Structure formats: structure tokens, C-alpha cells
Amino acid sequence: MADIIPADTAATMASETEAQLRLVMDTLPGLIAYVDHDLRYRFANARHSEWFGRPRSDFAGHTVLEVLGEELFSFTRPYLERALAGEKVIYEHTYSYRPDFVRDVQVTYLPDRDSGTEVKGVVIVLEDITARRQAERAQSESERQLSLLVEASGRLLASPDSAEVFQNILDLAKEFIDADAYSVWRRSADGVYWHIATKSGLSDNYSGSLLDPGGTSGKLPRVPLAFEDVEKAPFADLRREAYQAEGIQSLITVPLQIGSELQGTLVFYYRARHRFTELETRVASALGNLASAALGTAEIYAREKELRRTAEAEERKAQFLARAGEVLSSSLNYEQTLAAVVDLAVPAFADWASVDIFGADNELRRVSLKHVDPARIAMGEEFRRRYPPDERDAGTQVMRTGKSILVPEITDEMVIQGARDPEHLRMIRELGLKSIILVPLRANERTFGLLTFVTAESDRRYSETDLVFAEDLGRRAATAVDNARLFTESREAQEALRHSNEELQSANEDLNQFAYSASHDLQEPLRILSIYSQLLHRKYEGQLDEKAREYLDFIVEGAKRMEMLLRDLLAFIQAVNIAPGEAPLVDMSDVVERAIANLRSAIQENQAEISYSGLPKVRIQETHLIQLFQNLIGNAIKYRGKEKPVIYIGAVRNASTWEIRVKDNGIGIAPEYRSQIFGLFKRLHNRDQYPGTGIGLAICQKIIERYGGRIWVESAGGSGSTFCFTLPA
């Protein structure tokens, strides 16, 4: 190409090209230089004076040693020598050109061989890679930090206790971000109230709670918010004084959230103005995410623990109820029963448990008070003795209304309000009551007592479910007590009945004894009366006038009747006194025959016809059965109609009895008298019409009843009667 261009033109062109080349090289962002074989700069572009902070004249014609200085030169020299030996050398290094001008560079040395093999010099190209390096470094530092954070997160997640989680978050934050102070804030469920869960580097005065009635916090973006100037923070108005008191200038706040719910914040404070690097923001954000995860886990854990606790408590209560059920049904002494329930309640359900019963004197009487510590019981009793329940007392209210009371939290204000005097106040405080349930004991619409459950030392608090439980217990206890009362009452009634039966029996025995001896002993004087009146009649008949004879007849008649009465009465008493027990088996037909034989004269007189068939064998004393038939057949003849008496005796077999029927064709009995005639001395006719004492059927009834049977009469009235009785088959 040079051959066809004239020499002077070529020279002009060459100088122009060189000028253009210089311009290009001076505007390059990096350094370009040419160093000769003696390591002396032949050329250095304009950036050299900028980087080194020296005039351009300091480079061309000066040695590399002079330009770089001893330290840099000794580092660079081996590379330069390799280039002078003909090798293309590329390396990266960070050069500190000036104290405040450090550059990451990629250095390239190109050997200048011209056309031959000998190296005449080296072209030096330095590319500024500071920005790239910095980005890479930031990246790797942040990666390193984050991976460290992930490693550390194990610690955070390992202790799922929510109480510890906040402290752990804070500890971790301190490790990764170097701030002057730290805090973890928690937000209440309604979002209105914030308080510090834990803090570090802040004075004790640093206000630990914050109201956010406007709910501003809920609207904050869920990303870390860094404020170089705290005055710019959206909550500055709320916190200004606190920041000033602590000398806080800058802060970064990181949201802690579970799901999408903002649960709290992690805050880093700086007492000097702090410009937040991207790395810090990234690490803070990662910390926030990690802490949120830990919080979530802690919450799940806490919920699980709570569920388990509830389940255990339920289990305990169920066991308690089952035991209470046993106890309640095991004893019929109700005070004992209630005391046993109270015993069981402590400590499964309460620290203190008591039962009171409303006495007849309208006073609540304490039946039982239970606590695990006897010393405390003594204290409780002393308290009760000194301050018996008055109108204002919760127990009195429950008694009045019949409604239970639950106080989940007994506050000191309540205690102060309820105290009657300073000593009362002191004693209540000493008892340390935390929570109370009072349940009425009700039966038949009446409140008769009170169950009280109190927590103290256990620090437990009663809930609505506990109330439901206590009410259930109260109902069971009341039912048990009512059962016990019914039992006692019925036992008392039985006792009274037994007692009056005994009295009746002994009165009966006395009466029997009296009647027996009376009828027996009366027979003797009666016989004398009878004999002497007959003697009188026989011997002095002629000397007596009409009137005297009539009187004498009355006497004889009266004596006969008396004799008859006494005989029947004696028979009745004997029937009453038939001793229960095994009787021999007798053939009823034989018995009827005997009765007929005894009644022979009456039968002949009245021309009575008596027949029977199908009569069974029964277990009865023969004399009793003879007497029975004699009475019934005798009556059938005595109360005959105009026709001659026809009597038939038959038997019917029922399930477990024999029913015997004695049928006559006599005068019959009107329906209204049918039950009366079995009463003692009950007669439907006067003596002139039909003689008799009114004792015969009463004897029959007594005999039949003694052998477990029944006697009654069937009659159509005017057309005969049928006397029926049963005996066990």
C-alpha cells in the first residue's frame, strides 16, 4: 500500500493517524502504555495522570519503577519480564494508585516483536474492572452471609418455644448486622397494641409499648424499611421522643409475619447516621423471613402444646368426673358424698374446693373445705370463722339467684373492693386467689347448697369450659344428694311403718289375749248362771207367777246367747292366731263329710240336700277347713228360702289356686252388703228373724286369709248366694 502513495502524503497521513490514535487512546476508560525493553515508558495515555494523580509529563521517558514506586513495581516486574521474554501475559490485580483511588484491573502485556523475533517493548493495557469486581464481591459476601444465616437458622427453629424465639431472633440479628441497638416488637392480635418482646442496647426507659389506634402498622409494606434519618420514618411522630432520648439517628425495621399477618418487627438502631448498604438490607430481609418462619413454627408448636394441654386437662377432668360419679353413687350419706367430691377436685381441678349447705337456720354451713396443704386449710377455716358470708358475698348471691358465677381473673382491684376491713384485705391477699367458680346445688327447684372451686398456687385460670364442667359436677352432686335424701326419707318411712306395725301387733296380741281369756273365763260364770236359772225353772216352776217365768226365760235365753257369742268369739280368736307354716294335705271331700255330720240335726230339720263333686286335696289344718265349711253350709241352711235348701259344693282349678264355690238357693244377699257381711258382728237380720252372732263369716275370712286365699260372695239377690274362696293349689 505504501508503494502507491506519495512519500510526503504518506508522511502527512502518518502524523494525522498518530494524532487520531492518541485521541482514541486518551478517551479509553482504561490505561494504555508502551514500555521499552529497559522498562521505560515510551507512551502513556491521558488516564494515567488521572489515576495516578500526576501530570502527564511524569510518564513518557520515566521508568516503570519511578512511576509505580518500589512496592507496586516489585509485584509487577515478574509479569513484565515474562512479556519481554515474548509471552502474552494477562492477570488481574487490585492496585492502590493513590490512598483514595484503588482500582481492580485486568492487566494485559503484549510483547512488541516488530517483525523480527526480538522483543523491543511491551504494550500495556489495563481494563478497569472495579465495578464488576465490586458487584461480584457484594454478591459473594451476601451469599456468604445468607448461607451463614441459613446455617444459623437451625438454632432459631430448634427451640420452638415462642418465649425463646424472640430472644433467638435478636441474638441472630446481632451476629449478622452490626448495629448499636436491636429490638423485637410484637403486635397484638387486633393490631392496635405493640410492645417490645425483647431488646438489646437500649436503656430500660426505652418505652416498651405503643398504641397504634389508626392501624398504620398494618398498612406498612411487608419489606425491610431503612431510614437513614429516623425523622423520615412513618412512625416518627409516635417515637420521636424515644429516639431522641436514646440518640437514635438511623434505623431499619424488618417485618415479622406469619402467613400474611404482620406479627411484629425486628428493628436495628444506629446512633450515628447510617447509610444502609444493599447487603445489609438483604441480610435484614433474610433475617426477617427466617424469624417469621421461626415464629410460625413456634406458633404451631404453641398451639399444639395448648391443644395437648387442653386434651390432658379434659382427660383429667373426665377421670375426675368418672371418679366423682362413683363416689356420688357409693354413699347415701350426702354430707359424706359432697365432702368426697370436694376431696377429688383438689388438685385435679382446683387448689381450693369447698361445699356449703344452706341449713334450717338460714345460714350457709360449711360441710367441707379442701386444700393440699393442711396449714392452708387452717388458714381458710380461720378466714371463714372471722368473716362469715354476708350479703355481698358471691356465695350468698349464688344461693339467692341459683345461678353459678365464674370469675376468670380475680384482680387486686376486685379484692380491694370486696374487702370489709384492712385485716380482711390482708387475709384475702395472703390466700392469693387467682380465679373462682361458684356453682349452686339445686334439687326440686330449690338451691340447697354451694360448690366453690378456687385456683391460687397453681396459677391456673378458669374458663367457660371449666364453668360448664363445674356446673355438670354440681348437677351430679345435687342429684346424688337428692337420691340420698329420698333414700333416707323412704328408710325413715319404712322404719316408722315397721314401728307402728310392731305396735299394732303387740296391741293385737294384747287384745287377743284379753278376748281369749275373757271369753274363756266368762264361760264359767255363764255356765253357773245357766245351770241355776234352769234349776230355778225346774224346782220352783209352780211357785212362780207368769211375770217371774217370763223373766226367767229371758235369763236362760240371754245366757244361751252369751254362750254362743263366747264360743264364736273364741273360734274367731283362734282363727286370727293361726300360725303360718307348713300344713298337712287334706282331702276336701272328707272335710265336707265331717262338716255335714256335725250339722246333721239342722240338715234333717230343714230337709236340706247337699251335694259336691271334684273337690281337691289342699294344704290346710283339717279343723280349720271343717269350721269353714260348717259355717258356710250352716249359713246356707239358716238363710234358706221357702224352698227346701239345695246346696252344691264344686271346685275350679285356676293357674295356682283352687277356687271352691258353695252355692245355695236361699234368700240371697243384696249387692251393697256383699263386702260388709265378712266384718265382725256384721249381720243383715235381727235375732228374731235369724239367730246368730255375726262372727261366722269373719272367722271364714280370717282362716282363708291365713292360708293365702281370698273369700267373697256372688249373689243375684233373692235367688240364692254363692260363697267362693281360693286356696293355694
Query: What are the beta bridge partners of residue 111?
Result: 122
Query: Could you tell me which residues come within 8 angstroms of residue 295 by beta carbon, excluding any fewer than 6 positions away?
Result: 162, 165, 169, 256, 258, 263, 264
Asked if 702 is part of the footprint of ligand ADP (rule: CB under 6 A), the reply reads no
Instruction: With beta carbons less than 8 A apart as the criterion, state whether 111 and 119 touch.
Output: yes
Whether a cis peptide bond, with omega within 30° of 0, leads into 255 is no
Please identify, using beta-carbon distances, which residue of 321 and 571 lies nearer to ligand ADP: 571
Residues in 636-665 at the binding interface with ligand ADP, rule: CB under 6 A: 636, 639, 664
Choice from 616, 650, 694, 717 touching ligand ADP (CB under 6 A): 694
Smallest distance from ligand ADP to CB 701, Å: 9
361 phi and psi angles, rounded to 5 deg: -85, 15
Burial degree of 703 (CB within 10 A; 0-12, 13-18, 19+): buried
Choice from 198, 263, 281, 693 touching ligand ADP (CB under 6 A): 693
Asked if 576 is part of the footprint of ligand ADP (rule: CB under 6 A), the reply reads no
Choice from 121, 224, 474, 696 touching ligand ADP (CB under 6 A): 696
Please identify, using beta-carbon distances, which residue of 619 and 682 lies nearer to ligand ADP: 682
Please identify, using beta-carbon distances, which residue of 520 and 687 lies nearer to ligand ADP: 687
* Sheet order of strands, 364-370 included: 364-370, 352-358, 446-455, 435-443, 405-407
What single-letter DSSP state applies at residue 276?
P
Please identify, using beta-carbon distances, which residue of 183 and 715 lies nearer to ligand ADP: 715
Q: Tell me how far apart the alpha carbons of residues 441 and 435 are, in angstroms, rounded to a whole number.
A: 20
Residues in 601-640 at the binding interface with ligand ADP, rule: CB under 6 A: 631, 635-636, 639
Task: Provide the mask over 135-174, with x wherever binding to ligand ADP is found by CB under 6 A and - wherever it is not.
Answer: ----------------------------------------
What single-letter DSSP state applies at residue 96?
E
Choice from 340, 588, 677, 727 touching ligand ADP (CB under 6 A): 677
Following DSSP, what letter does each residue of 686-727 receive, concatenated? -TTTS---S-HHHHHHHHHHHTT--EEEEE-SSS-EEEEEEE
CA distances from 673 to 76, 328, 462, 656, 682 (A): 152, 55, 74, 29, 10
Asked if 666 is part of the footprint of ligand ADP (rule: CB under 6 A), the reply reads yes
Smallest distance from ligand ADP to CB 620, Å: 20
Please choose, out of 169-177, 309-317, 461-469, 679-687, the segment that lies near ligand ADP by the rule CB under 6 A: 679-687
Smallest distance from ligand ADP to CB 697, Å: 3
Smallest distance from ligand ADP to CB 716, Å: 12
SS3 of residue 220 by DSSP? coil
CA distances from 363 to 342, 388, 389, 448 (A): 20, 10, 9, 11
Asked if 305 is part of the footprint of ligand ADP (rule: CB under 6 A), the reply reads no
Smallest distance from ligand ADP to CB 667, Å: 5
Please choose, out of 87-95, 293-301, 489-497, 685-693, the segment that lies near ligand ADP by the rule CB under 6 A: 685-693
Choice from 685, 708, 716, 719 touching ligand ADP (CB under 6 A): 685
Please choose, out of 28-36, 296-304, 461-469, 677-685, the segment that lies near ligand ADP by the rule CB under 6 A: 677-685
Please identify, using beta-carbon distances, which residue of 167 and 574 lies nearer to ligand ADP: 574
Q: What burial letters (b/e) apply to 49-59, b meaning 16+ CB within 10 Å?
A: eebbeeeeebb
Residues in 230-249 at the binding interface with ligand ADP, rule: CB under 6 A: none
Q: Tell me how far apart the alpha carbons of residues 527 and 531 are, in angstroms, rounded to a whole number.
A: 6
Q: What burial letters (b/e) apply to 235-266, b meaning 16+ CB within 10 Å?
A: beebbeebbeebebbbbbbbbbbbeeebbbbb
Please identify, using beta-carbon distances, which residue of 380 and 668 lies nearer to ligand ADP: 668
Please identify, using beta-carbon distances, which residue of 661 and 682 lies nearer to ligand ADP: 682
Question: What torsion, rounded to 10 degrees, do the Cα atoms 609, 610, 613, 616 define?
Answer: 180
Asked if 595 is part of the footprint of ligand ADP (rule: CB under 6 A), the reply reads no
Longest dimension (CA), the chain: 222
Please choose, out of 33-41, 66-74, 260-268, 686-694, the segment that lies near ligand ADP by the rule CB under 6 A: 686-694
Please identify, using beta-carbon distances, which residue of 341 and 695 lies nearer to ligand ADP: 695
Instruction: With beta carbons less than 8 A apart as the criterion, state whether 456 and 430 touch.
Output: no
Smallest distance from ligand ADP to CB 698, Å: 6
Residues in 510-569 at the binding interface with ligand ADP, rule: CB under 6 A: none
Pairing outcome for strands 261-270 and 193-200? unpaired
Please identify, using beta-carbon distances, which residue of 345 and 662 lies nearer to ligand ADP: 662
Amino acid at 312: E
Please identify, using beta-carbon distances, which residue of 207 and 598 lies nearer to ligand ADP: 598
Please identify, using beta-carbon distances, which residue of 252 and 608 lies nearer to ligand ADP: 608
C-alpha cell at 70: 518500589
C-alpha cell at 46: 491521558
Q: In 512-656, which ranges are E strands?
A: 585-587, 609-612, 617-619, 646-653
Asked if 692 is part of the footprint of ligand ADP (rule: CB under 6 A), the reply reads yes
Please identify, using beta-carbon distances, which residue of 202 and 662 lies nearer to ligand ADP: 662
CA distances from 591 to 637, 686, 722, 728 (A): 18, 31, 19, 17
C-alpha cell at 604: 234333717
Smallest distance from ligand ADP to CB 684, Å: 3
Smallest distance from ligand ADP to CB 626, Å: 15
Please identify, using beta-carbon distances, which residue of 698 and 727 lies nearer to ligand ADP: 698
Please identify, using beta-carbon distances, which residue of 354 and 635 lies nearer to ligand ADP: 635
Asked if 683 is part of the footprint of ligand ADP (rule: CB under 6 A), the reply reads yes
Smallest distance from ligand ADP to CB 663, Å: 10
Smallest distance from ligand ADP to CB 639, Å: 3
- The 8 Å CB, 24+ separation contacts for 564-569 are 564/691, 564/693, 565/693, 565/695, 566/519, 566/522, 566/523, 566/526, 567/519, 568/693, 568/695, 568/696, 568/699, 569/515, 569/519, 569/693, 569/695
How many residues belong to the site for ligand ADP (CB under 6 A)?
21
CA-atom Rg of the chain in angstroms: 63
Smallest distance from ligand ADP to CB 636, Å: 5
Q: Tell me how far apart the alpha carbons of residues 721 and 670 are, in angstroms, rounded to a whole number.
A: 10
Please choose, out of 27-35, 485-493, 496-504, 694-702, the segment that lies near ligand ADP by the rule CB under 6 A: 694-702
| Neighbour count for residue 452 (Cβ, 10 Å) | 23
Residues forming the site for ligand ADP (CB under 6 A): 631, 635-636, 639, 664, 666-667, 669, 677, 682-685, 692-698, 721
